[in-house]
Amino acid sequence: MPAERVRVRVAGRELELSNLDKVLYPAAGFTKGEVIDYYTRIAPVLLPHLRDRPLTRIRFPNGVDGASFFEKNKPAATPGWVRVVRLPAPGSSKGRETIEYVVGDDLPTLVWLANLAALELHTPQWRIGRHPDMLVVDLDPGAPAGLAECCAVAVRMRDRLAADGIASHPKTSGRKGMQLCCPIAGEQSADEVSGYARRIAGELENADPRLVTAKMAKKLRPGKVFIDWSQNSAAKTTVTAYSLRAAARPTVSTPLTWDEVEDAVAAGGAVRQFTAAEVLARVDGYGDLMADLLDGGPRVPG
């Protein structure tokens, strides 16, 4: 049978959606139509974090239990109204000198991507034509460590960054770990920002080597939280706040309050990964907990 197609109008753009009943999260029965609905409803807080950043997508055309692929270059038959920017592609695995990236600046583009089963949205720490305006600390737990240990390290990292005048905003990864996102001035190179993050990660490792590692080797990670300072490389991307993740349930990279993180540490437990429906409810109550990221911040110390 031919795929069911529906024509819709989104913010003045005409789109053709297909297979809305297709289940993309089998364990939860979550369909492509529900993915599109989530991204439509979360757009007011998501789009500001995507604006002017080249998008890397992870697509799951047959759902999270099927094959997936990373996509940086614009897809075939990209509509002419979608913003596309050509950028250098150093170290491209396909030998490309440049890549034509999609930029998710508006709701029609977001809906169009969701219809392509682009479940995960990843962005760099810099905006097009600028230096990094965000420092990211990725906290990756090595089993049996988990979110509880990530919360403990997050509080320590927050306090250390604050000593340098840098504010940090916590979020879950939507998978197993956490990230801290920190607004910075956008005046320094990715190498400078990454070097600073590496230095601070090393300080925390030296202070508590039983809990923290700043070294890449996976054999050193069991029972510890790896502080991945390398996420600040110009070539790296991080899952965007409010993006869905490809897990058994439709979990989301979810902004947290510091009270939630501190309560988890005090109780000896952990925050958890939240689903799409829960995140929509949280936004109704909290608004965008990461709105301050958009206002800029200080330079990182040299």
Helix 147-163 and helix 258-267, axial crossing angle in degrees, nearest 10:
130
Q: Which residue has the tokens 């089963």?
A: 117
Please report whether residue 302 resides in a domain: no
Residue 182: helix, strand or coil by DSSP? strand
**Domain end position, chosen among 123, 155, 187:** 123
Please report whether residue 12 resides in a domain: yes
Say what the pLDDT of residue 90 is.
Answer: 62
Task: Name the β-bridge partners of 86.
Answer: 100
Please report whether residue 170 resides in a domain: yes
Co-location of 142 and 262 in the same domain: yes
Co-location of 14 and 102 in the same domain: yes
Question: CA dist 24 to 103, 149, 246, Å?
Answer: 24, 31, 9
Q: Alpha-carbon Rg of the chain, whole angstroms?
A: 19
pLDDT band at 67 (very low <50, low <70, confident <90, very high): very high
Please report whether residue 242 resides in a domain: no
How far is residue 117's CA from residue 111's CA, in Å, rounded to a whole number? 10
Is the pLDDT confidence value at 220 over 60? yes
Cβ-proximal residues to 82 (8 Å cutoff; 6+ apart), any chain: 74, 102, 108, 109, 112
Asked if 170 and 154 touch (Cβ cutoff 8 Å), the reply is yes
What does the pLDDT look like over 22-42, one tens digit per residue? 999 999 999 999 999 999 999
Residue 25: helix, strand or coil by DSSP? strand
- How confident is the model over 230-258, as a mean pLDDT? 97
Token pair belonging to 66: 């099927």
Cα 257 to its chain centre, rounded Å, is 17
Co-location of 113 and 10 in the same domain: yes
Please report whether residue 282 resides in a domain: yes
Is the pLDDT confidence value at 94 over 80? no
Is the pLDDT confidence value at 91 over 60? no
pLDDT band at 216 (very low <50, low <70, confident <90, very high): confident
Number of alpha helices (DSSP H) and beta strands (DSSP E) in the chain: 6, 17
Please report whether residue 301 resides in a domain: no
Co-location of 75 and 144 in the same domain: no
Co-location of 70 and 150 in the same domain: no
Please report whether residue 40 resides in a domain: yes
Asked if 204 and 236 touch (Cβ cutoff 8 Å), the reply is no
Co-location of 144 and 290 in the same domain: yes
Say what the pLDDT of residue 218 is.
Answer: 86
59 lies in which domain range? 5-123
Co-location of 19 and 142 in the same domain: no
Say what the pLDDT of residue 92 is.
Answer: 59
How far is residue 71's CA from residue 61's CA, in Å, rounded to a whole number? 12
Asked if 176 and 211 touch (Cβ cutoff 8 Å), the reply is no
CATH number at residue 290: 3.30.70.3300
Please report whether residue 129 resides in a domain: no
What letter represents residue 50's amino acid?
Answer: L
Q: How many domains does the chain have?
A: 2
Q: Where are the alpha helices (DSSP H) in 75-186?
A: 107-115, 147-163
How far is residue 94's CA from residue 281's CA, in Å, rounded to a whole number? 42
Co-location of 91 and 161 in the same domain: no
**Domain end position, chosen among 80, 102, 123:** 123
The rounded percent of the chain whose pLDDT value lies above 90 is 92
How far is residue 69's CA from residue 178's CA, in Å, rounded to a whole number? 23
Co-location of 140 and 275 in the same domain: yes
Co-location of 156 and 210 in the same domain: yes
Co-location of 168 and 112 in the same domain: no
Say what the pLDDT of residue 125 is.
Answer: 97
Co-location of 80 and 205 in the same domain: no
- How confident is the model over 261-265, as a mean pLDDT? 95
Say what the pLDDT of residue 95 is.
Answer: 67
**Domain end position, chosen among 97, 123, 149:** 123
What does the pLDDT look like over 156-208, one tens digit per residue? 999 999 999 999 999 999 999 999 999 999 999 999 999 999 999 999 999 99
